[in-house]
């Protein structure tokens, strides 16, 4: 596909003015993907600088508060009961243990503490325990985010009452490719949960995973879906697939690093004011690839040795990378 095919000029108003639109189409995102790489990076950096300090990156920590035993069949997930990955089902963590992890994360420089539970949807009794965790973490002066699966409206409102700042619920991929990855819940189920979270007044954290065998058209479809929501997610995690032995996606060709950076840039251009999160997969990325992601508009990472159950760069490596690039952590 050529850029000229859709007649988007190099001085596109959406780029120059960093206008926040909610009508992005898949074809328009494909045009961004097709731009010469340096032109795409230039446009993404212009948008990024219009909304953020380009030298600042938010540092978050992610903790699995309830690991394994999930009844969903997400093809990428080592916590699914459908796959033999060596991840054992565990009970919900104790409140004191979670707060100890949160204090350590804050001491290490994290300004957001994210908690994930491997549930299809939380039971109300479990939700109350999570709400106690949220309240405790908030008292430490740290932003809170949880991912617990599908929510009802009343459950979302209860989380809001507890002081939850963000709820994570990814779309994962395009509507068309979704059934190739997950069959135990629908795309609409995910959109309904996002609606319940938004209606409750909680900030939305929603993105996806790339490198699952999807096409560029699917990656564009995912970005266009996110960018055409009535309100953009305040946080947009872009994950590179981590291939885990035992899952259906354990083998396959890894996504080219430049194509991953293009996805980051497209997310930044189409959702100018959102935090674009460079999430899973950094363990296998070179420092140079990560630097390009920051140049493309990523301004958040997860700090610490593990993301739920998969590896993440250790803090020393991230600190050294920040120093080399002149980046600082948001407070």
Active site residues: 70, 74, 77, 114, 145, 205, 277
For CA atoms 154, 155, 158, 163, give the dihedral sign: negative
For CA atoms 228, 174, 301, 49, give the dihedral sign: negative
**How far apart are the C-alpha atoms of 201 and 181, rounded to whole Å?**
30
Question: Is residue 231 packed enough to be buried (19+ CB in 10 Å), middle (13-18) or exposed (0-12)?
Answer: exposed
Nearest of 169, 165, 222 to residue 195 by alpha carbon: 169
Residue 116 falls in which region: left (phi positive, over 0), alpha (psi -120 to 50) or beta: beta
What is the 3-state composition of the chain as percent helix, strand, coil, each rounded to the nearest 5? Answer: 40, 15, 45
Q: In sequence order, which residues have a C-beta less than 8 Å from that of residue 32 and are 6 or more positions away?
A: 40, 43, 262, 265, 266, 269, 270
Q: Which residues of 273-297 are buried (b: 16+ CB within 10 A; e: fewer)?
A: ebbbbbbbbbbebeeebbbbbbbbb
Q: Which helix (H) or strand (E) covers residue 143, if one does?
A: strand 143-147
| Residues 219 and 59: beta-carbon distance below 8 Å | no
| Residues 216 and 259: beta-carbon distance below 8 Å | yes
| Residues 237 and 267: beta-carbon distance below 8 Å | no
Strands 310-311 and 300-302: unpaired
Nearest of 159, 137, 138, 135 to residue 147 by alpha carbon: 159
**How far apart are the C-alpha atoms of 274 and 278, rounded to whole Å?**
13
């Amino acid at each position: 596909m050529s850029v000229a095919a859709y007649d988007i000029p190099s001085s596109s108003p959406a780029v120059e003015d960093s206008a926040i639109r909610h009508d992005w189409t898949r074809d328009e995102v494909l045009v961004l993907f097709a731009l010469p790489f340096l032109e795409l990076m230039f446009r993404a950096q212009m948008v990024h600088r219009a909304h953020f300090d380009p030298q600042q990156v938010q540092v978050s920590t992610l903790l699995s508060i309830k690991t394994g035993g999930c009844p969903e069949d997400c093809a990428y997930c080592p916590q699914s009961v459908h796959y033999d990955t060596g991840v054992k089902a565990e009970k919900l963590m104790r409140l004191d243990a979670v707060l100890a992890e949160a204090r350590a994360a804050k001491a290490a420089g994290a300004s957001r503490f994210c908690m994930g539970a491997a549930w299809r949807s939380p039971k109300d009794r479990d939700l109350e325990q999570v709400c106690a965790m949220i309240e405790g973490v908030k008292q430490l002066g740290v932003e809170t985010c949880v991912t617990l699966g599908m929510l009802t409206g009343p459950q979302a409102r209860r989380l809001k009452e507890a002081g939850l700042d963000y709820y994570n619920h990814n779309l994962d991929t395009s509507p068309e490719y979704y059934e190739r990855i997950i069959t135990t819940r629908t795309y609409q189920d995910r959109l309904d949960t996002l609606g319940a979270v938004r209606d409750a007044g909680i900030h939305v954290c929603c993105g996806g995973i790339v490198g699952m065998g999807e096409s560029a058209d699917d990656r564009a479809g995912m970005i266009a879906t996110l960018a055409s929501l009535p309100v953009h997610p305040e946080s947009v995690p872009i994950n590179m697939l981590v291939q885990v032995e035992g899952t259906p996606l354990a083998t396959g060709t890894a996504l080219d690093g430049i194509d991953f950076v293009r996805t980051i840039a497209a997310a930044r251009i189409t959702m100018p004011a959102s935090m674009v999160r460079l999430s899973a997969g950094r363990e296998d990325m070179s420092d140079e690839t990560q630097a390009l992601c920051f140049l493309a508009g990523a301004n958040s990472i997860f700090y610490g040795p593990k993301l739920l159950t998969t590896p993440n760069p250790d803090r020393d490596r991230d600190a050294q990378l920040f120093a080399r690039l002149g980046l600082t952590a948001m407070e």
